[in-house]
């Protein structure tokens, strides 16, 4: 049911969605009508996913999320299903539209009883406990209800967002509902796509509740989704084009024992369309480079003194794949940092940057995974994962660079506060070398004329899309498998000829 081609691009915080909801009400759509639309959307999704279930148990809290749940129960009751609501929150606390929703469920004959740990659960479980109102940790009775839901072995639909998942960060509480299906409304919440979210949201369905596009367009967002319709293309190539027209990428890396990382980056840059690719690496890797990549100009590099001339001939530097943190890698990184060329820093270049060994040049792009991001920010990896959007923006501002924070829901952040999120990818991508492929790809896109933020947007989208396509084959994905698929996707997105 997930059809993200039709989804909007803006991603919102919980507060921004509440503000959008208020705008719709102020413009003339009653809040109870919006609640009814949400219930109908969730009920449609539930019936489509589990048409033969015949029974629904709604676990309701004490806010508007509970109101959605009561109205779902009413719809199921009128359809002849076996329905009941277990009230986890105190029903007398319900106010406004949520109270009206409870009254509608009662009028339809829905059985409503107080939740207790021994309550029987049957059919599809509907999580209508907290929604986007969750923050911090769950109160004990809510935590017990969540534990019961997860242990029931029954299908679970989460209304708007699974209870215990933070709508702004994708971080989960100690207890959180693990949904099979989440139906979210009005605006897409950023926390549904990054951090821990992919393991808790399940299948995602979005319904805008017939919100007026003009009103939605007025609402600010915290980020935007990367989608094929929004990522920048490369321009078509003139028929008179030649290798000097599309940039020269120099990959610097490959200490002893890590030569493969540098080769992967060089191959990726070559296949992504860079006109020329050079590789500065240990002399021991010359034979392997010539055998695997005869098109790449491999430059055996023993010392720093050889690097300035190589940098001067290049248009973009990709620094860090397999670089290591020993004297050889440190000296090459220092020489690269002295170059005025646009640069992509990855892997040990970032670890050495975090250690204070060097400063990042201007007009750079960095690609940390969460552990590297934590070292760069001087915090724990868990803190990065607890709020990935904030961590990505903090890195971009601190280092005045475009940042790709890798991981589930990869983020692209700029120093001026722009933030993009990639919700593509596949768990088969959990393997070594994929970051090296991404670094080379970004270098090639920069060499072909894209600015750092544009290159990061297109590169991350291509890389994740290739992972999705290759991931369909299952486990055992090798980093080099992505390279021909990236080339294919790039041609589909931006054909070489008009």
Residues belonging to the binding site for (6S)-NADPHX are 131-137, 142, 160, 261, 322, 369, 436
Please count the CA atoms within 13 angstroms of the CA of 497 that sit on its side-chain side: 3
3-state SS, residue 88: coil
Distance CA 100, CA 106 (A): 10
CB neighbourhood size of 451 (10 A) = 16
Sign of CA dihedral 12, 15, 16, 18: positive
* Residue numbering of the annotated binding site: 65, 127, 131-137, 142, 160, 163, 261, 322, 369, 406-410, 435-436
* Residue numbering of the annotated binding site for AMP: 406-410, 435
* Residue numbering of the annotated binding site for K(+): 65, 127, 163
Longest dimension (CA), the chain: 83
Distance CA 268, CA 487 (A): 9
- In sequence order, what are the residues at sequence separation of 6 or more whose Cβ sits closer than 8 angstroms to the Cβ of residue 178? 150, 156, 162, 199, 200, 202
Q: How far is CA 252 from CA 122, 201, 306, in A?
A: 60, 40, 12
CA angle, residues 317, 321, 327, in degrees to nearest 5: 95
Q: How far is CA 231 from CA 210, 228, 338, 421, in A?
A: 27, 6, 31, 11
Q: In what order do the strands lie in the sheet with 82-87?
A: 111-114, 82-87, 55-60, 124-128, 156-159, 181-185, 203-207
Burial of 158 (0-12, 13-18, 19+ CB in 10 A): buried
- Phi then psi for residue 167, to 5 deg, are -70, -20
Distance CA 199, CA 385 (A): 14
Distance CA 230, CA 224 (A): 9
Q: From the CA atom positions of the chain, what is the Rg in Å?
A: 26
Which alpha helices (DSSP H) does 275-364 contain, by range?
286-292, 307-313, 327-337, 348-354
Whether the CB-CB separation of 226 and 412 falls below 8 Å is answered with: yes
DSSP 339-368: S-S-EEE-THHHHHHHTTSS-PPSSEEE--
Percentages helix, strand, coil for the chain (3-state, rounded to 5) are: 45, 15, 40
DSSP bridge pairs for 59: 86, 127
């Amino acid at each position: 049911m997930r059809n993200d081609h039709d989804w909007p691009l803006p991603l919102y915080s919980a507060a921004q969605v509440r503000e959008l909801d208020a705008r719709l009400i102020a413009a003339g759509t009653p809040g109870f009508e919006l609640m009814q639309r949400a219930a109908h959307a969730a009920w449609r999704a539930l019936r489509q996913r589990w048409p033969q279930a015949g029974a629904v148990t709604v676990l309701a809290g004490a806010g508007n999320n509970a109101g959605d749940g009561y109205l779902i129960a009413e719809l199921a009751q009128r359809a002849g299903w076996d329905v009941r609501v277990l009230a986890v929150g105190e029903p007398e606390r319900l106010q406004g539209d949520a109270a009206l929703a409870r009254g509608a469920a009662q009028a339809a004959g829905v059985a409503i009883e107080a939740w207790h740990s021994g309550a029987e659960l049957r059919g599809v479980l509907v999580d209508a406990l907290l929604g986007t109102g969750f923050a911090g940790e769950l109160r004990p009775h809510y935590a017990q209800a969540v534990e019961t839901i997860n242990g029931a072995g029954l299908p679970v639909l989460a209304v708007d967002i699974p209870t215990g998942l933070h709508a702004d960060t994708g971080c989960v509480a100690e207890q959180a509902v693990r949904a099979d299906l989440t139906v979210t409304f009005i605006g897409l919440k950023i926390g549904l796509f990054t951090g821990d979210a992919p393991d808790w949201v399940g299948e995602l369905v979005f319904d805008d509740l017939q919100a007026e596009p003009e009103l939605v367009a007025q609402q600010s967002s915290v980020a935007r989704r990367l989608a094929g319709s929004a990522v920048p293309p490369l321009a078509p190539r003139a028929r008179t084009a030649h290798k000097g027209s599309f940039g020269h990428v120099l990959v610097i890396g490959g200490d002893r024992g890590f030569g493969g990382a540098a080769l992967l980056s060089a191959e990726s840059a070559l296949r992504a369309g860079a006109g020329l690719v050079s590789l500065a690496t240990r002399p021991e890797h010359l034979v392997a480079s010539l055998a695997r990549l005869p098109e790449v100009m491999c430059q055996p590099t023993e010392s720093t003194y050889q690097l300035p001339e190589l940098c001067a001939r290049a248009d973009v530097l990709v620094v860090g794949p397999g670089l290591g943190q020993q004297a050889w890698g440190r000296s090459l990184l220092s020489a690269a940092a002295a170059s005025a060329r646009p640069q992509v820093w990855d892997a040990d270049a970032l670890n050495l940057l975090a250690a204070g060994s060097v400063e990042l040049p201007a007009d750079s792009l960095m690609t940390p995974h969460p552990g590297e991001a934590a070292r760069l920010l001087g915090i724990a990896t868990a803190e990065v994962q607890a709020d990935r959007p904030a961590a990505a923006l903090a890195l971009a501002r601190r280092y005045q660079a475009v940042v790709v924070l890798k991981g589930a829901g990869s983020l692209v952040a700029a120093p001026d506060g722009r933030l993009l999120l990639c919700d593509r990818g596949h768990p088969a991508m959990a393997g070594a070398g994929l970051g090296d492929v991404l670094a080379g790809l970004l270098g090639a896109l920069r060499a072909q004329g894209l600015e750092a933020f544009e290159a990061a947007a297109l590169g991350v989208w291509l890389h994740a899309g290739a992972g999705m396509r290759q991931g369909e084959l299952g486990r055992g994905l090798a980093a080099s498998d992505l390279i021909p698929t990236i080339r294919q996707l790039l041609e589909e997105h931006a054909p070489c000829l008009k």
